[in-house]
Amino acid sequence: MATGGPGGTMSIHALHDDHGRTVRYLRLSLTDRCNLRCLYCHSNARHQCIPHEKVLRYEEMIRLVQIVRGMGVGKVRLTGGEPFARKGCDDFLLRLRQRFDDLDIRITTNGTLLEEHIPLLQRIRISAVNLSLDSFDRETFARVTGRDMLPEVLRALDAMLAAGIRVKINAVGLRGINDGQLADFVHAAMTLPVDVRFIEFMPMGSDTLWSPENFWPASDIRAAVEQHVRLVPLGDANEGQRGPARMFALEGGKGRMGFITPLTNHFCLSCNRLRLTSDGHLRTCLFADREYPLRPLLRHPKVTDEHIARVIAQACKSKPVGADLLAAR
Ligand code: SAM
């Protein structure tokens, strides 16, 4: 493969690290801005928006995708902030698809602004939409997110299913907040063709609201779910154990349920991700503070794609094992 960019072509470097892992997946934050204020999200606590001039332009993001595409990354997830809160998001998605016909494109969204974008998501053959939805109860939704917008999210959910888009609902398990509402989540997974996945509340950042009182371990969530429905483990052949979620079919149900256990049973040794912040900092691990500033390289007229690729490869090489960092805190 050869790429353009200022002054150079480049050969393929696969992104291997010192723990035998190969990076194939980029999480790209389109913006740090969000229209919700979820109580578990540490970015709310430090909510000083990144000035516009520091946010990567869409063409810079496309250049970066092109560089990592040449290094074996086949899957890109757009996230934020709230990706649909950034102007021009649809046009960017379209350009991404036009440029990379075989790229696995996914998006993570709170769903509040989603409905009008669904035809475009269909058009670009989005692989799946991860919908963050921590409660089907309007009051609890407003308490968790700071906004009374559950009806908008449920409308978008219905519209996605009608459009045949694959949906994964992600709920952060919060003891004392949504732990009394499992029946709603089980009902969704029974009646809709969706994956409903619980994520353990992670202590992110120094200003986190995380505490042992509101931490709800996935083993407890699973036991509570099993009060409602029989869970049938899915093997690898069903994509049950690929990725961070342990997935289950539901006896008699249309959907599936799963558990993501970053704290009680980490999956760091199979982590294949890189993250890029909206202001162009590369992060190789969610739990590591170390960032590699790529924006100055992208904006320097003499820096080639090859040079940026080398910086990314070097950063990946020392990708840490996040669980070790957490344990040392
Ligand atoms: N705004 C988009 C959304 O709501 O999906 C994308 C960004 S948001 C930070 C992505 C998701 O990360 C959240 O909805 C939640 O599922 C997860 N998340 C954020 N902070 C978390 C935490 N402290 N513990 C567990 N999951 C968290």
Q: What is the pLDDT of residues 94-127, one digit of tens each?
A: 999 999 999 999 999 999 999 999 999 999 999 9
Residue in the block written with tokens 């969704």: 188
Written in H, E and C, the secondary structure of the chain is CCCCCCCCCCCCCCEECCCCCEECEEEEEEECCCCCCCCCCHHHHCCCCCCHHHCCCHHHHHHHHHHHHCCCCCEEEEEECCHHHCCCHHHHHHHHHHHCCCCEEEEEECCCCCHHHHHHHHHCCCCEEEEECCCCCHHHHHHHHCCCCHHHHHHHHHHHHHCCCCEEEEEEEECCCCCCCHHHHHHHHHHCCCEEEEEECCCCCCCCCCCCCCECCHHHHHHHHCCCCCEEECCHHHCCCCCCEEEEEECCCCCEEEEECCCCCCCHHHCCEEEECCCCEEECCCCCCCCEECHHHHHCCCCCHHHHHHHHHHHHHCCCCHHHHHHHC
Q: Which of 27, 34, 108 to mutate to test the pocket of ligand 1 (most atoms within 8 A of CB)?
A: 108
Q: Is 140 in the pocket of ligand 1 (CB under 6 A)?
A: no
- Nearest ligand 1 atom to alpha carbon 170: 16
Q: Is 79 in the pocket of ligand 1 (CB under 6 A)?
A: yes
Residue type at position 214: N
Per-residue pLDDT of the chain (329 residues; tens, 9 = 90+): 444 445 444 445 789 999 999 999 999 999 999 999 999 997 666 668 999 999 999 999 999 999 999 999 999 999 999 999 999 999 999 999 999 999 999 999 999 999 999 999 999 999 999 999 999 999 999 999 999 999 999 999 999 999 999 999 999 999 999 999 999 999 999 999 999 999 999 988 777 789 999 999 999 999 999 999 999 999 765 554 567 899 999 999 999 999 999 888 888 889 999 999 999 999 999 888 899 999 999 999 999 999 999 999 999 999 998 777 667 76
- Nearest ligand 1 atom to alpha carbon 210: 23
Contact 96, 105 (CB under 8 A): yes
Q: Which of 27, 41, 261 to mutate to test the pocket of ligand 1 (most atoms within 8 A of CB)?
A: 41
- Nearest ligand 1 atom to alpha carbon 41: 20
Q: Is 82 in the pocket of ligand 1 (CB under 6 A)?
A: yes
- Nearest ligand 1 atom to alpha carbon 43: 9
Q: Is 62 in the pocket of ligand 1 (CB under 6 A)?
A: no
Q: pTM of the predicted model, to two decimals?
A: 0.94
Q: Is 199 in the pocket of ligand 1 (CB under 6 A)?
A: yes
**What are 191-249's pLDDT values in tens digits?**
999 999 999 999 887 777 899 999 999 999 999 999 999 999 997 655 545 678 999 99
Angstrom distance (rounded) from CA 53 to CA 164:
37
- Residue 66 alpha carbon to ligand 1 centre in Å: 26
Nearest CA to ligand 1 atom 20: 41
